[in-house]
Amino acid sequence: MQPQSNYPLRKLNTFGMDVSARYFASAGSIGEIQELLLDSRFRGLDQVILGGGSNVLLSRDINGLVLKNDIRGIFKIREDERYAWVQAGAGEPWHPFVRHTIGLGLAGLENLSLIPGNTGAAPMQNIGAYGVELKDVFEELEALDRTDGSLVRFGVRDCEFGYRDSIFKGKFRDRFIIVTVTVRLSKIPEFHIEYGAITRELEAMGVSGLTIDGISQAVMRIRSSKLPDPALIGNAGSFFKNPECPASLVEALKDQYPEMPVYPAAEGKMKMAAGWLIEKAGWKGYRKGDAGVHPLQALVLVNYGHAKGEEILELAGRIQASVEEMFKISLEREVNVY
């Protein structure tokens, strides 16, 4: 496999950042990735793994190897009377994978419809939406160790899943390359429609009986109405995590802002809506040059065409400082920055 030199990355990241890679290669098999990892030309250089490019901000040219993980394939590897275990290559686009499992009549991923990116990124940040997280259906993954090219299996406990978090964003950041993901899906649906938006959307659709496809369609409609299409305006979805704060702080803020949305979280904490905090701090619709905050969803930072990564990062920093000053709450980035 011969990597390409000085390769433009603008079309490989949904923010549309106009940066390049010193070397670029696309790998469609575990063997090809192992070959690149052990190539002496790239030792000591930056190595950035790209999937769908939907949760990254490329703030600079990459002086090293950018490897696009393009391992494909979806397989039902086993089943019993209640469950089926389905494995997907890390390079499979996430939403088509979700729709594939729904087509098989398997439940568990419908609330995660239309989340951008590839399947390999799903366990990295424990993707979640509308009351469901990947960890709820996760079985295992296979990952290549960059240090020696060996293949390692991780079960649910090994991944140390948290809120939009896993061991691959902390202790093992930049060490492993996820190559396959296996989920355990149910043949007997357990519907999760606790979030009012889903119920209201189903009613608007005229759906009378619950089905996994109906829930998927409702989630798709909700997400399409709230989040900008990266094909039309550069963005990486939610730029910040929804913060989990001490209940005492939330209660004090509730006295001042009774309309403030809050959600249950870990014991002694409440989850707050980062988008609401950002909007209340006055940033919704803000624009400086081509870097801005989306006018309909304050949680989404956008590139209107020719913004640089440094400009998006500067804007993010100003938003964080503003929210910290106004609410005494620290916002944490959800997007990975390179």
Q: Which residues are annotated as catalytic?
A: 164, 238, 334
| Distance separating alpha carbons of residues 138 and 338, to the nearest angstrom | 28
Across the chain, the runs of DSSP E, i.e. the strands, are 4-8, 20-27, 46-50, 56-57, 62-69, 74-79, 83-89, 128-129, 132-133, 138-145, 151-155, 176-186, 234-238, 244-246, 262-264, 269-272, 287-288, 291-293, 300-303, 336-337
Sign of CA dihedral 326, 236, 133, 179: negative
Name the strand (E) or helix (H) holding 32. helix 30-37
Sign of CA dihedral 284, 287, 288, 293: positive
**CA-to-CA dists, residue 134 to 127, 129, 182, angstroms:** 6, 9, 11
Tokens of 170: 């902390």
Tokens of 213: 């496809």
| Distance separating alpha carbons of residues 58 and 55, to the nearest angstrom | 10
